[in-house]
Amino acid sequence: MTGYNYVLDVVYGSYGKIGELIQEVGTENLAIKYQGDWQKHTKGHGLSPHLSLDGEHSRFAAENFIRNLLPEGNGFSELIDNTGLGKSNTFGLIRAIGAETSGAMSFLGEYHTPTETNFRKVEHSEIEEKLKNRELNQLTVWDGKRRLSVAGVQDKLNLIFRDGKLGLGDGDLCSTHIAKFETDFKNIVVNELFSMKLAERVGLSVAPTEYLRIGEYPTLLVERFDRKLISVDKVGKRHIIDGCQATNLPPSYKYERNLGDNRDVAHIRDGVSFKHLFDIEAKSSDQHKQALCEWIAFNIIIGNYDAHGKNISYYYDKSGITLAPFYDLVCIEAIEAPEGREIESTFAMALGDSFDAEVGAYDIAGFIKNTGQNEGFVSLIFSKIAKKVIEVAETIEGDLISAEYNLSESEKEHITKCVTIAQARAEMLQSSCQVKDLREMAALL
């Protein structure tokens, strides 16, 4: 505590301290105050477009930014259990995990002591034991120390992948990969593996992925695009922000229908939308719009209904904002819900005014109108992605069911199901995005 404020140092990668996160005692109000040398630095920039270097930001901008750094789902529950803090205690929670958040920023207390650089090898058997006994052995606690669980609801573990070995890092070593484990949703790991490989083959920029089997647990190892192992004992960091941070919205607004799909609130659409994303002032506007259209088309094709505001990220620096590689691409249409649960088949963001799984020319025309795009441009991109998916989906299937991956029969059958869905939905999109039809539908809007 300093004076009448709680303060954390904001530390940017190897540069060092660039400012402070401040909470006024007796309030929940957060603010970012930058240091003068960082404000004058040739590479100086704010934490996001909404937390500018001049320190002039809205009351909620810092709160929104920090809340989006916290884990979700089981990771958030474990954080609450381990710290004893209230769910709304944003400052206290980021203080607890601030040494390693996503991207390049750290949030450190006054008495934080730098830890010695160390690589702690993690055996598959250790991870398997934690996965078998999740109620007793928290996935994020190792050797009595809590490890960050990155934002998201799936069970994940931040790891270093070095010289073919998985491990945990301290000091100048931090995670380079995210291990995502199969939980209640059977075959979700191989589903995401297929979806990511397919996206890469049709031309989307995606995070590299590898398939592992840790004991009986299928595992997807995803390379982090905000980290890079630059030497045996040092990891470089790059600053990123997610779609909620880029649009200055809290994580509870990651779905366009931020209050849910129930009839009494379905008309409320204040969360992240395609319009929000297209309105982001990217460094290269044309590249940004093309990449967004490719991502949207691909999500339509695979039935990735959960493509929300936290499942898209941006690099952000002095030169501006640029889309990062895509991630969390899942053919949700192919996933079977566990007993007693239901999977929504409505999209996180609307095409026009429709969140429905079936997409027609009228919906695409509404999307074009809402986002200010050109019919010919959208038609070209959507048609291109659909055509490529139809051409290469079976090739990806053949690659994945080869002996190299050693998949189970259930996993192989699931990939075939994903292929069937992707091809059928690609044909649906092809027939719905013809320029002539889009212009006819636009006249009705």
Which residue, among 320, 244, 283, has the nearest Cα to 52 in the 3D structure?
A: 320
Specify the 3-state DSSP secondary structure of 149.
Answer: coil
Asked if residue 343 belongs to a domain, the reply is yes
Asked if residue 281 belongs to a domain, the reply is yes
**Which of 235, 256, 291 is a domain's end point?**
235
Q: Is the dihedral of CA 175, 176, 182, 185 positive or negative?
A: positive
Specify the 3-state DSSP secondary structure of 326.
Answer: strand
Which residue, among 43, 11, 68, has the nearest Cα to 272 in the 3D structure?
A: 68
Q: Are residues 297 and 436 in the same domain?
A: yes
Are the CB atoms for 79 and 96 separated by under 8 Å? yes
Asked if residue 113 belongs to a domain, the reply is no
Structural tokens at position 300: 């339509």
> What pLDDT is attached to residue 148?
62
Alpha helix ranges (H) inside 103-212? 124-132, 188-201
Q: Are residues 12 and 102 in the same domain?
A: yes
Q: Are residues 64 and 179 in the same domain?
A: no
Residue type, 43: K
Separation of alpha carbons 43 and 38, rounded Å: 8
Find residue 375's DSSP bridge partners.
none
Separation of alpha carbons 366 and 445, rounded Å: 7
What would the pLDDT profile of 317-336 be if each residue is shown by its tens digit?
A: 999 999 999 999 999 999 98
Give percent of the chain with pLDDT exceeding 90.
78
Q: What contacts 276, CB < 8 A, 6 or more positions away?
A: 243, 247, 249, 309
Are the CB atoms for 28 and 16 separated by under 8 Å? no
Q: Please, which pLDDT band fits residue 344 given cuts at 50, 70 and 90?
A: confident
CATH number at residue 269: 1.10.1070
What would the pLDDT profile of 54-96 be if each residue is shown by its tens digit?
A: 988 988 999 999 999 998 887 788 889 888 999 999 999 999 9
Q: Are residues 301 and 255 in the same domain?
A: yes
Q: Are residues 316 and 430 in the same domain?
A: yes
- The helix (H) or strand (E) run that includes residue 81 is helix 73-83
What would the pLDDT profile of 175-224 be if each residue is shown by its tens digit?
A: 999 999 987 889 999 999 999 999 999 999 999 999 999 999 999 999 99
Q: Quote the Cα angle for 98-100-103, to 5°.
A: 110
Q: Are residues 92 and 129 in the same domain?
A: no
Q: Please, which pLDDT band fits residue 137 given cuts at 50, 70 and 90?
A: low
Lowest mean pLDDT among 130-144, 233-247, 348-362: 130-144
> What pLDDT is attached to residue 100?
84
Asked if residue 243 belongs to a domain, the reply is yes
Q: Are residues 147 and 291 in the same domain?
A: no
Provide mean pLDDT across the span 110-118.
84
Domain span at residue 78? 5-108
Provide mean pLDDT across the span 25-41.
94
Q: Are residues 288 and 419 in the same domain?
A: yes
Total tally of structural domains belonging to the chain: 3
> What pLDDT is attached to residue 1?
47
Q: Please, which pLDDT band fits residue 152 given cuts at 50, 70 and 90?
A: low
Q: Is the dihedral of CA 105, 189, 418, 333 positive or negative?
A: negative
CB atoms within 10 A of CB 364: 29
Asked if residue 207 belongs to a domain, the reply is yes
Tell me the backbone φ, ψ of residue 405, rounded to 5 degrees.
-90, -20
- Whether the pLDDT of residue 153 is over 60: the answer is no
**Which of 185, 217, 235 is a domain's end point?**
235
**Which of 205, 235, 265 is a domain's end point?**
235
Asked if residue 177 belongs to a domain, the reply is yes
Q: Are residues 277 and 393 in the same domain?
A: yes
> What pLDDT is attached to residue 151?
54
Which residue, among 81, 10, 80, 22, has the nearest Cα to 47 in the 3D structure?
A: 10
Are the CB atoms for 273 and 256 separated by under 8 Å? yes
CB burial string 65-103: b at 16+ within 10 A, e below: bbbbbbbbebbbebbeeeeebeeebbbebbbbbbbbbbb
Q: Are residues 68 and 139 in the same domain?
A: no
Is 0.85 surpassed by the pTM of this model? yes
Q: What contacts 293, CB < 8 A, 6 or more positions away?
A: 373, 377, 378, 381, 382
Q: Are residues 384 and 250 in the same domain?
A: yes
Catalytic site positions: 306
Q: Are residues 259 and 222 in the same domain?
A: no
Start-to-end CA span in the chain (Å) = 57
- The helix (H) or strand (E) run that includes residue 41 is none
> What pLDDT is attached to residue 154?
61
What would the pLDDT profile of 380-397 be if each residue is shown by its tens digit?
A: 999 999 999 999 999 999
